[in-house]
Amino acid sequence: MFVHERIEHWKTVLKINDWNIVCQSISEMQVTEALMDDTLGHEFVGIERQFDSKTGILYHTRPLLEDDIIHELLHVRYPEWSEEKVTFWTSLLFGEPVLEHKSAMEYLLPTG
């Protein structure tokens, strides 16, 4: 997978073309508490958002996958969303809907 090509693709889909997304490979030893958002075991993928300069720094301890990119760019596009909601929408956009997700109805249906 061409990571930068996929980032550009999802930036377009999410209408955040004005953001500059930079990938930064880090070692597991560099993962600090401030970046613990997406920790799974010792792996880490997470994005630092600088809203004033519209820059996102995508830190990763392993090669990025397409769903990582979708997930982290959703955090850029919808900073107010919960981790749970971002994870749910990532699964939908990635084409592997997690429809048993307990909040699926909440996220998909108008709540009036």
The pairing of beta strand 55-60 with beta strand 45-50: antiparallel
Tokens of 20: 């500059």
Smallest separation, CB 72 to Zn ion (Å): 7
Smallest separation, CB 34 to Zn ion (Å): 14
Number of residues that bind Zn ion (CB under 5 A): 2
99, 45, 40, 71 alpha-carbon torsion, rounded to 10°: -10
Query: Is residue 68 within the footprint of Zn ion (CB under 5 A)?
Result: no
Binding characters for Zn ion, 70-109, by CB under 5 A (x = yes): -------------x--------------------------
> Do 82 and 103 contact (CB within 8 A), yes or no?
no
Other Cβ atoms less than 10 A from the Cβ of 50: the count is 11
Identify the residue among 7, 38, 61, 76 touching Zn ion (CB under 5 A).
38
DSSP 19: -
Q: Which residue number, 11 or 71, has a Cβ lying nearer to Zn ion?
A: 71
State the residue number with the nearest CB to Zn ion. 38
> Contact residues for Zn ion (CB under 5 A)?
38, 83
